[in-house]
Amino acid sequence: MRFLGWVLVAVPLSVAVMLHLLVPLPTSLDQAAFLAGVAAFAVGAALVLRRDEDDWREAGEAPSPPWWPAFERDLGDYERERSRRETVPR
């Protein structure tokens, strides 16, 4: 199906543009060819970009790295210390 999608993305719109440039067609036929090419491009893009059940990229969220909790703790300590220093007593 993805191959068909790539064919629909690459061929019909290119053919419509080439027809427009090389063959003097009536305006209505020229516009119909262009619209058919755009529609085929949209269908082809949907086929190419659709998600498969066994797609390796759909693993969900990756677990947080082992250093992340320590980083968050250190960042929180830094922010508290910085805000304490920036507060000017009146």
Q: Kindly give the confidence (pLDDT) of every residue in the chain, 90 residues in length, as a single tens digit, with 9 standing for 90 and above.
A: 889 999 999 999 999 999 999 999 999 999 999 999 999 999 999 999 987 665 555 556 677 788 888 999 999 999 998 888 876 666
Contact at 8 Å (CB) between 46 and 13? no
Q: Whole-angstrom distance between the N-terminal and C-terminal Cα of the chain?
A: 71
In whole angstroms, give the CA distance from residue 90 to residue 56: 59
The pair of structure tokens assigned to 28 is 């209505």
What's the confidence (pLDDT) of residue 68? Answer: 87
Give the model's pLDDT for residue 22.
94
